[in-house]
């Protein structure tokens, strides 16, 4: 993997968008049935469930089951859907994307509908958008990464990948991408991941400018 990077691919819901705040807000909005303190555990449990699911299953059903796992009512998933269009990009995202001249893609673990709506919330254009629903499987299964590479027309090993979770970082690296993990929550390094870890993208963007 010593040749030039020919495209950049992104996780969407963790690396580019601050979905953690949305999960917190929804958990808090449930009143006596919820708590803002359960937003982050719910989000982490959803990540665990998607990482273990493999073949695509309805996204909001997984979100609902994760809510139940941490003691939130299953209606939390419906409220998440209703508030989806309040997602916001992290502050370091748009300045970097505006200077990025390479082809770019996103690979996201959600449905087609929510994936497209989330891309709209970034406020930047992408050449390829791959959702778990369209790929037929959830990351870290290889199908979403391979579909993005095929639609970009670029081999996996020539694509820089920005992961947003530990599962995604290890999985994308295992499938041959050049992975950097933006670890905004200071989580521990996953077993088997050897790439660089950053807490923001400020020092990452210049490599592709």
Domains and CATH numbers, the chain: 7-18+87-208 (3.40.50.1000), 19-85 (1.10.150)
Residues making up the chain, counted from first to last: 209
d(CA 32, CA 105): 40
d(CA 95, CA 3): 26
pLDDT tens for residues 89-121? 999 999 999 989 999 999 999 999 999 999 999
pLDDT of residue 2: 64
pLDDT tens for residues 146-172? 999 999 999 999 999 999 999 999 999
Angle between the N-to-C axes of helices 166-174 and 142-152, in degrees from 0 to 180, rounded to the nearest 10: 60
Which pLDDT band, with edges at 50, 70 and 90, does 1 fall under? very low
The partner residues of 207 in beta bridges, in order of sequence, read none
pLDDT tens for residues 8-64? 999 999 999 999 999 999 999 999 999 999 999 999 999 999 999 999 999 999 999
- 90 or 2, higher pLDDT: 90
Residue 107's SS3 state is strand
CA distances from 112 to 58, 61, 134 (A): 10, 14, 7
Q: Which residues contact 49 (CB under 8 A, 6 or more apart)?
A: 62, 65, 66, 69
């Amino acid at each position: 993997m010593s040749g030039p990077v020919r495209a950049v691919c992104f996780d969407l819901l963790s690396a580019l968008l601050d979905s953690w705040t949305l999960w917190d807000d929804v958990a808090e909005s449930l009143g006596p049935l919820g708590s803002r303190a359960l937003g982050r555990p719910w989000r982490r449990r959803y990540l665990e469930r998607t990482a273990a699911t493999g073949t695509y299953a309805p996204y909001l059903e997984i979100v609902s089951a994760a809510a139940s796992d941490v003691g939130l009512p299953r209606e939390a998933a419906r409220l998440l859907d209703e508030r989806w269009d309040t997602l916001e990009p992290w502050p370091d995202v748009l300045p970097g994307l505006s200077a990025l001249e390479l082809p770019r893609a996103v690979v996201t673990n959600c449905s087609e509908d929510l994936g497209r709506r989330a891309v709209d919330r970034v406020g930047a254009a992408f050449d390829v958008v791959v959702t778990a629903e369209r790929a037929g499987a959830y990351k870290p299964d290889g199908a979403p990464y391979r579909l993005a590479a095929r639609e970009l027309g670029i081999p996996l090993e020539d694509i820089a990948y920005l992961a947003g979770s530990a599962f995604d970082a290890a999985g994308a690296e295992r499938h041959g991408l050049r992975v950097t993990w933006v670890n905004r929550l200071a989580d521990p390094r996953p077993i088997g991941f050897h790439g660089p870890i950053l807490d923001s993208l400020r020092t990452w963007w210049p490599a592709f400018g």
